[in-house]
Amino acid sequence: MILHIDMDAFYASVEELDRPELAGRPVIVGGDPDARGVVSAANYAARRFGVHSAMPSATARRNCPQAVFIRPRLDRYAEVSRRIRGIFERYTPLVEPLSLDEAFLDVRGSVGLFGLPAEIGRKIKTEIRDELRLVASVGVAPNKFLAKIASDLNKPDGFVVVQPDRAQEFLDPLPVGRLWGVGKVADRSLQKLGVRTVGQLRRLPIDVLRARFGSAGRHLWQLAHGLDDRTVVPDHQAKSISHETTFAIDVADREVLRAWLLELTGQVARRLRRHGLRGRTVQLKVRFADFRTITRSQTLGEPTHATDELWQAAVEMLTSRLPAAHPPVRLLGMGVSGLDGSGETQRPLFDVAGQRRQTQLDAVTDAIQDRYGRSAIGRAGAMRRKGGSEEDE
């Protein structure tokens, strides 16, 4: 069985933990609402006013003028995330982090030591609450897809178990919007076919779905049948390192997308450096509101973990390799593959000093951000390229 554990309103919850006076108040973590900031996270009190991630901070303030705005402290969130991961690893070494606040765990090999998967999920949830005073939602299911849906079903503070022989009974009543990648446009298209629930979708022939959605039709058919054969892959076994984010509301603003891509690139680059890895191929993943998903890749001359080099490749693909007229974006992801952990790179014939400066800049940036948070320092070149200010980062 697979566990999906998702921390509830993680960034905002950590801020409330460190500042008890915020309890019960709307809290928004993100950029300056007086500049061109973007919401990174909001607690449930703020969400009741329609605030969501990727929303411009100025809009969030109009929706919820009484909210407390806090700049992100990624170092603090990473510190708490490491402690949460430590709790996970008491029960299984098979932990696949998706971000700072969520992970998949394969606990099939842990049953003899710790009890049934549901018991393990309960223990982890309790230990996070008792030791860190934070709340996690847990899904327990036969595969990743079902576990992810289960963890999200009764948020906040949810706990849902999907037994293998009752997976279809669990899925069928759910609205099709619960399926990965089904946004408003795909939902409307399915409704034209008379499909509102997963059960109704499951009863459609796969050929009908392929005719309407192309290659994504098979993906929909598999999800409706609860099929997902992906395994839990720990970081040290990964063939690529990536981060992605799904927006609560589809994003059409290119500057917002650039700001998020810069954030994702920074996270991937830091993970590469932390594990002593370099990557040769930069990948961009975009899922549009109409359910269409495209990927773009660019192979570099030499493997790198330099933030600036990865950012230049990623932003070039975002700005020049997407369709000229495309729907708003539902999901944005950035990753690096072709990983090399040897530490050996070919010395460049030119601009040795420039490369040395980039390496030194990354090292200093990592050290400052590890101690004071991501917002403590930014890259002027990157900020100019994305046409924004520090608040965009």
Q: Which of helix, strand or coil describes residue 377? A: coil
Between CA 358 and CA 366 the distance in angstroms is 12
Q: How many CA atoms lie within 13 A of 30 on its CB side?
A: 32
Residue among 341, 369, 345, 365 at smallest CA distance from 355: 345
Surface-to-core class of residue 278, CB atoms within 10 Å of its CB (0-12 exposed, 13-18 middle, 19+ buried)? buried
| Active-site option among 16, 102, 390, 393 | 102
Q: Which of helix, strand or coil describes residue 161? A: strand
Give the CA radius of gyration of the chain: 21
Encoded tokens for 279: 């990557």
- Cβ neighbors of 319 (< 8 A, separation 6 or more) are 254, 258
Active site (annotated) includes residue 393: no
Encoded tokens for 385: 């390229």
Element (H, E) at 151: helix 144-153
Task: Give the catalytic positions in this structure.
Answer: 102
